[in-house]
């Protein structure tokens, strides 16, 4: 088996938003099993989540919510060309 590491580059905003989503799915809603039925996939998910947790100082800051909201808006603007796009169902701030 080839165990060569794969590097994935994310912007800080992408990493922050992904970290928040992973936390919600894995720990707050306990929804990971419903989304990812094959437990073999959980291994890379936990690795990514742990790496993000160790890397991002934003997740420990008292203004977490506003920072997360701003990061989401910037990503939406980059992706859709403007911050006026509505949030997807179930998405907050």
pLDDT tens for residues 37-53? 888 998 999 999 999 99
| Whole-prediction pTM | 0.76
Say what the pLDDT of residue 89 is.
44
Tokens of 84: 């006026």
State the virtual CA torsion across 49, 35, 24, 4 in degrees, nearest 10: 10
State the average pLDDT over residues 66-93: 76
Q: Please indicate whether residue 73 or residue 86 has the higher confidence score (pLDDT).
A: 73
Q: Is 93 helix (H, G, I), strand (E, B) or coil?
A: coil
Tokens of 70: 């701003």
Q: How far apart (Å, rounded) are the C-alpha atoms in residues 24 and 5?
A: 27
């Amino acid at each position: 088996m080839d165990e060569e590491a794969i590097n994935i580059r994310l912007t800080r905003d992408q990493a922050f938003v992904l970290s928040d989503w992973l936390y919600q799915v894995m720990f707050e809603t306990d929804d990971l099993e419903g989304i990812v039925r094959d437990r073999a996939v959980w291994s890379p998910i936990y690795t990514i989540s742990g790496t993000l947790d160790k890397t991002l100082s934003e997740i420990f800051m008292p203004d977490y919510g506003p920072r997360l909201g701003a990061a989401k808006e910037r990503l939406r603007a980059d992706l859709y060309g403007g911050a006026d796009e509505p949030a997807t169902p179930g998405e907050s701030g």
